[in-house]
């Protein structure tokens, strides 16, 4: 069975400081991995996705994530937080199940950015 663990329910940073949102997965096979962001009362937006082409993936709004197979991790980072980054972030793993690719969501990490 596949699963995805977001280790922190909340992460609090000051504006201008680095952001690290952690995600670990368990899977018997190489999964597809995604990070989505959800702003309050809004739908979900794709930040980036890992498709096995490169282990370091660059996304929108200055975010990037590195796939580390040995650590089964796909942590999301950003060098400098902006107030507009405050939102809920979801790590998603997608793996084949019964002929379909089913996405599994992590519990989410709430990013709080202080001025």
Partner 1 sequence: GAVVSQHPSRVICKSGTSVKIECRSLDFQATTMFWYRQFPKKSLMLMATSNEGSKATYEQGVEKDKFLINHASLTLSTLTVTSAHPEDSSFYICSARELADSYNEQFFGPGTRLTVL
Which residues of the shown chain bind partner 1 in the complex (CB under 8 A)? 31-32, 34, 36, 42-46, 49, 51-52, 90, 94-96, 98, 100-108, 110
Nearer to partner 1, 71 or 96 (CB): 96
Smallest distance from partner 1 to CB 103, Å = 6
d(CA 47, CA 98): 27
Nearer to partner 1, 21 or 95 (CB): 95
| Burial group, residue 60, by CB count within 10 angstroms (0-12, 13-18, 19+) | exposed
Smallest distance from partner 1 to CB 16, Å = 27
Q: What share of the chain is helix, strand, coil (3-state, %, to 5)?
A: 5, 55, 40
d(CA 5, CA 7): 6
Nearer to partner 1, 15 or 88 (CB): 88
Nearer to partner 1, 36 or 73 (CB): 36
Instruction: Report residue 32 as tokens.
Output: 């597809």
H or E stretch at 58: strand 56-58
Smallest distance from partner 1 to CB 32, Å = 4
Smallest distance from partner 1 to CB 102, Å = 6
């Amino acid at each position: 069975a596949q699963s995805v663990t977001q280790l922190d329910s909340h992460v609090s940073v000051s504006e201008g400081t680095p952001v690290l949102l952690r995600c670990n997965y368990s899977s018997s096979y190489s999964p597809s991995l995604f990070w989505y962001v959800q702003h309050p009362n809004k739908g979900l937006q794709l930040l980036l996705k890992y498709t096995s082409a490169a282990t370091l993936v660059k996304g929108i709004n200055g975010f990037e994530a590195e796939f580390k197979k040995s650590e089964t991790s796909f942590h999301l980072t950003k060098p400098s937080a902006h107030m507009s980054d405050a939102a809920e972030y979801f790590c998603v793993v997608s793996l084949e199940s019964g002929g379909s690719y089913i996405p599994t969501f992590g519990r989410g990490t709430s990013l709080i950015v202080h001025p």
